[in-house]
Amino acid sequence: MITADVLNAIDTSVLCWLATVSSEGEPNVSPKEAFVYNNGRILIAHIASPKSIANLRSNPKVCLSFVNVFTQRGYKVNGIARVIDKSNSEYNQLQAPLSEMVGEDHKILAIISIEPSNVERVTAPSYNIHPEITPEEMISQSLKTYKVDEYARRTE
């Protein structure tokens, strides 16, 4: 289920998006910036996600997505999440790689542990409209669309 390509998407993504649903059926999508794959689970640092945590406590079903903005390809992972609080004996061991990612800038309040049940590739509609387009061509197109060179010059 979690192939080398999925692991690469996780490792090279800057953000992932976690979708949860409240006990009232209200959907919530929240960006997450600290996440890793560990022994069959995707671990996410709860830094500032009170709504996601509240939703998970009443409904553990989640959808998580990783999409590279330049290749416009990625994966959608459905699964069951569990909130691992600091009082849990697993917390100290599991938080180590996440703490390494965030450094001392952020406190990890808890860990969201997702056990994947389904993984699907997601791609931009352009791949369906132009099936001959390669990821390299999509990167080139994305760099122009997002004006990366112009942005880079402004920040120098």
pLDDT for 154: 83
pLDDT at residue 104, rounded to an integer:
85
Give the number of C-alpha atoms closer than 13 A to the C-alpha of residue 35, restricted to the C-beta side: 24
Consecutive 10-residue runs of the chain (156 residues): their mean pLDDT?
93 94 96 94 96 97 94 96 96 94 91 98 93 92 88 79
Residue 28's pLDDT is what? 97
Structure tokens at 86: 């600091």
Rounded to 5°, angle at Cα 127 from 123 and 132: 145
pLDDT at position 134, please? 92
Q: Residue 120 burial by CB count (10 A; 0-12/13-18/19+): exposed, middle or buried? A: exposed
Task: Return the pLDDT at 105.
Answer: 83
Query: Is the CB of residue 131 less than 8 Å from the CB of residue 97?
Result: no
Domains of the chain: 4-123 (2.30.110.10), 126-156 (no CATH)
Q: Phi and psi dihedrals of 114, rounded to 5? A: -110, 125
Supply the pLDDT for residue 93.
93
- State residue 50's pLDDT score: 96
